[in-house]
């Protein structure tokens, strides 16, 4: 049996008020504690203390830090293409994480990674290179700021295919900067960059675009050598930082 008439209404009103106050407190506490968490930001601010007076400042700062790409950082997209097995995923992995990896699984679609470097958000997008996926390649060109084309320097039997795919792709993009990676240079039977320049007929692609050909090895052991993929990272940063 519930409380009679006016008392029941008073009870309901009190219940609603307590619930509302509870939600407000919950929200405030949530925001406050979110603000005091250990973030991964790199700022060196002097801090605003841990009292209630500072929580909204932290909240504002968080919101600003979460602003969509392009507002705070320059957004750049790097499209990474090349035949299957050339080493695209390995290049992406070692550019972005520099952790040893026993095995890199074949890409059955897309693969992406993000780098925040020099005030820039660099999105690296790999589209798989098997024959059925190559027809999708052209759809991604318009968004790209640079194309990285990875070639297996040992796979002589498919060099002609790589060359044809690359030339067909770039026919409609005369200005898109191109970085060709002569990958797997750690292997003894790898073709040199001079040989690959010839085989891929890169001179006919230069024209109005910036074009680079780099010898690379996308392996853990090669990270500190002359063919390290970390040189690719430096080149991309320089290339994409240009106004
Ligand atoms: N020796 C050597 N092996 C590589 C290199 N890059 C990739 N690989 C290997 O080649 C295979 C295919 O690499 P993956 O990155 O999956 O190629 P993707 O299909 O183009 O993404 C994997 O077994 C890699 O470990 C390299 O520079 N040197
Ligand atoms: Mg892959």
Residue 105 confidence (pLDDT): 87
Question: Is residue 158 domain-shared with residue 187, that is, in the same domain?
Answer: yes
Per-position b or e across 229-241, b if 16+ CB within 10 A of its CB: bebbbeebeebbe
Residue 107 confidence (pLDDT): 86
Q: Which ligand is nearest to the CA of 84?
A: 1
Query: Picking from 16-30, 129-143, 152-166, which range would have the lowest pLDDT averaged per residue?
Result: 16-30
Residue 62 confidence (pLDDT): 58
Question: Is residue 86 domain-shared with residue 56, that is, in the same domain?
Answer: no
Question: Is residue 128 domain-shared with residue 222, that is, in the same domain?
Answer: yes
Query: Picking from 75-84, 110-119, 192-201, which range would have the lowest pLDDT averaged per residue?
Result: 110-119
Ligand 1 pocket, 109 CB below 6 A?
A: no
Task: Give distance in angstroms: CA of 84 to centre of ligand 1.
Answer: 9
Count how many domains the chain has.
2
Ligand 1 pocket, 183 CB below 6 A?
A: yes
**Does the structure show a pLDDT above 80 at 119?**
yes
Per-residue pLDDT band for 41 (boundaries 50, 70, 90) equals very low
Question: Is residue 87 domain-shared with residue 53, that is, in the same domain?
Answer: no
Q: Is the pTM of this model over 0.85?
A: no
Is residue 227 within 8 A of residue 239, CB to CB? The reply is no
Pocket test for ligand 1, best of 82, 84, 90, 102 (most atoms within 8 A of CB): 90
Which domain, by its residues, includes 27?
5-38+46-65
Per-residue pLDDT band for 99 (boundaries 50, 70, 90) equals confident
Distance CA 185, CA 187 (A): 5
Per-residue pLDDT band for 5 (boundaries 50, 70, 90) equals low
Task: Give distance in angstroms: CA of 153 to centre of ligand 1.
Answer: 11
Residue 122: beta bridge partners?
76, 115
pLDDT digits (tens, 9 = 90+) for 200-236: 999 999 888 999 999 999 999 999 999 999 999 999 9
Question: Is residue 142 domain-shared with residue 90, that is, in the same domain?
Answer: yes
Question: Is residue 83 domain-shared with residue 140, that is, in the same domain?
Answer: yes
Task: Give distance in angstroms: CA of 79 to centre of ligand 2.
Answer: 13
The CATH number of residue 129's host domain is: 3.40.50.300
Question: Is residue 24 domain-shared with residue 124, that is, in the same domain?
Answer: no
Task: Give distance in angstroms: CA of 218 to centre of ligand 1.
Answer: 7
């Amino acid at each position: 049996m519930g409380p009679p008439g006016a008392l029941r209404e008073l009870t309901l009103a009190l219940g609603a008020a307590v619930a509302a106050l509870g939600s407000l407190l919950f929200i405030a506490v949530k925001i406050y504690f979110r603000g005091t968490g250990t973030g991964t930001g790199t700022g060196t601010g002097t801090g605003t203390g841990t009292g209630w007076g500072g929580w909204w400042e932290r909240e504002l700062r968080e919101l600003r830090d979460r602003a969509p790409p392009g507002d705070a950082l320059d957004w750049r997209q790097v499209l990474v293409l090349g035949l299957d097995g050339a080493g695209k995923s390995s290049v992406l992995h070692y550019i972005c994480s520099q952790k040893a990896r026993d095995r890199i699984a074949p890409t059955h679609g897309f693969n992406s990674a993000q780098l925040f470097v020099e005030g820039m958000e660099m999105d690296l997008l790999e589209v798989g290179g098997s024959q059925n996926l190559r027809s999708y390649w052209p759809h991604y060109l318009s968004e790209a700021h640079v194309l990285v084309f990875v070639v297996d320097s040992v796979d002589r039997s498919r060099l002609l295919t790589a060359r044809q795919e690359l030339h067909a792709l770039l026919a409609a993009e005369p200005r898109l900067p191109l970085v060709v990676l002569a990958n797997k240079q750690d292997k003894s039977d790898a073709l040199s960059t001079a040989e690959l320049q010839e085989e891929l007929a890169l001179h006919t692609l230069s024209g109005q675009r910036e074009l680079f050909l780099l010898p690379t090895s996308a392996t853990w052991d090669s990270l500190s050598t002359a063919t390290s993929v970390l040189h690719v990272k430096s080149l991309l940063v320089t290339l994409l930082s240009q106004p």
